[in-house]
Amino acid sequence: MKAGSSIGEWVNERAPGLMPVYRKHMTEYYAPKNFNIWYYFGSLALLVLVNQIVTGIFLTMNYDPSASGAFDSVQYIMRDVEWGWLIRYMHSTGASLFFVVVYLHMFRGLLYGSYQKPRELVWLLGMTIFLVLMAEAFMGYVLPWGNMSFWGAKVIVSLFGTIPVIGKDLVEWIMGDYLPADATLNRFFALHVIALPLVLLLLVVLHLAALHEVGSNNPDGVDVKHGPKGNRWDPTKPADGIPFHPYYTVKDLVGVGLFLAIAAFIIFFQPTFGGWFLEHDNSIPANNLVTPLQIKPVWYFTAFYAIVRMIPSAFGTAVWGVLGMFGAILLLFLLPWIDAGKVKSIRYRGTGYKLALTLFVLAFFGLVLIGTDSTEELIPMLFGPSVDVTSVENIFGRIMVLIYFGYFVFLWLYTHLGWEKTKPVPERVTTHD
């Protein structure tokens, strides 16, 4: 008898309920056979999540979550702990790559209408993951207690100060002090290493459970689950479905290989990525008397941060800007109800949708740049040195904000008022074979 099967049988006798779960989600989960590279990013997000947890555990072994010791403990990890530099760079690069992967994963949803009925819950859980991930990354960023950690924490927590009446008290309550200090660091550490990772893991399990109830969408946006039945494995299952394992586990390994090559290149040759993944000001210890020249969040937050900056303040606070920022995220949550399109995939959608999505993506990139302030260098390069940078930057930024919000307004009108002229959708998924 083979060793593998005897272990399998041993487990099966004692926990007969496990095998059906494995079959439901792996060998008998029939995924559409036409997945393309956009479908790599879900499994890559899982991979990065595991990387963050494992490297995080090792970092925690030598990190000191106190205002007096945090900065030095990170330097100790980088210089004295065996392989500490590698673990830290894997974690810091991993954070940025997490957002690259998740943004591409979300964009796939927009390309193929994956948020539309019946996958609204998958999308809502995904958006909740995105929110928690932002909180997780923000708190992690504060932990090395560099000068950007300190000022970043101060600016971001102060955003809550714009809430009328309770704002000021809320800021103090979050920080546990009048400025980011020991108490802030302690609680951010606790939330970052245990509370939020647990929530994230739970949400990911729910996200996948919800997806497997309704089945995956695909690049044609054709419903495979309720289409013709009978494939070579099971006459009652979708004709255009193939077992997730081994077919997509093997396909996903190709994505994993490519991704690891890129990640290794960054970790070994460009760990700070020119200040985009690890900012230069964070190599200076936190100092509440020295403000960095530019206080800006890491690139993955800058699009939303730019919205705060570009919306003019009122009543002496950035209250509209903060509302705008939360509104920008809320609108993403509401996409399944904003978009009433009859067709899911961009392949068969109207030209208006294609144009709007292109503009939306460009505006998002524009906002990322505005938020990092690199437009200060970019705009004079484009328009000559004599322009008034601030005003051009503001005009450019506000146009990007309008396009961002305009996308949702347009999409609602376009699909609810029946303006969209779609192309005929094929009966079955299309493949190149």
Taking the mean position of all CA atoms in its chain, how far away is CA 60?
23
In sign, the C-alpha dihedral spanning 195, 196, 201, 207 is: positive
DSSP symbols for 300-356 = HHHHHHHHHHHSPPBTTBBHHHHHHHHHHHHHHHTHHHH---S--SGGGS-HHHHHH
Q: Which one, of 253, 255, 222, lies nearest residue 239 by Cα?
A: 222
Position among 112, 141, 304, 408 found at the interface with ligand HEM (CB under 6 A): 112
Q: Is 343 in the site for ligand HEM (CB under 6 A)?
A: no
Residue 324 CA to residue 310 CA, distance in Å, equals 10
Residue 382 CA to residue 404 CA, distance in Å, equals 23
- Distant-in-sequence, close-in-space partners of 184: CB < 8 Å, separation ≥ 6: 142, 153, 157, 174, 175, 176, 177
Position among 74, 87, 102, 370 found at the interface with ligand HEM (CB under 6 A): 102
Give the x/- contact pattern for ligand HEM in 19-58, rule: CB under 6 A: --------------------x-xxx-xx--x---------
Position among 77, 87, 106, 310 found at the interface with ligand HEM (CB under 6 A): 106
Q: Six-digit token pair at 114?
A: 């994956």
Compare residues 42 and 152 and give the one whose CB is closer to ligand HEM.
42
Compare residues 46 and 170 and give the one whose CB is closer to ligand HEM.
46
Return the range that interacts with ligand HEM (CB under 6 A); candidates 18-26, 102-110, 233-241, 358-366: 102-110
Q: Is 211 in the site for ligand HEM (CB under 6 A)?
A: yes
Position among 88, 91, 119, 296 found at the interface with ligand HEM (CB under 6 A): 119
Cβ 238 to ligand HEM shortest distance, Å: 14
Compare residues 132 and 359 and give the one whose CB is closer to ligand HEM.
132
Q: Is 116 in the site for ligand HEM (CB under 6 A)?
A: no
Dihedral Cα 342, 347, 350, 355, nearest 10 deg: 130
Return the range that interacts with ligand HEM (CB under 6 A); candidates 173-181, 209-217, 298-306, 395-403: 209-217
Residue 179 CA to residue 184 CA, distance in Å, equals 8
Q: Is 88 in the site for ligand HEM (CB under 6 A)?
A: no
Cβ 156 to ligand HEM shortest distance, Å: 20
Residue 301 CA to residue 308 CA, distance in Å, equals 11
Give the count of residues interacting with ligand HEM (CB under 6 A).
27
Q: Is 193 in the site for ligand HEM (CB under 6 A)?
A: no
Cβ 240 to ligand HEM shortest distance, Å: 14
Compare residues 138 and 396 and give the one whose CB is closer to ligand HEM.
138
Residue 11 CA to residue 250 CA, distance in Å, equals 25
Q: Six-digit token pair at 320?
A: 């509209």
First to last CA, the chain: 39
Residues contributing to the site for ligand HEM (CB under 6 A): 39, 41-43, 45-46, 49, 102, 105-106, 109, 112, 114-115, 119, 122-123, 126-127, 129-130, 204, 207-208, 211, 216-217
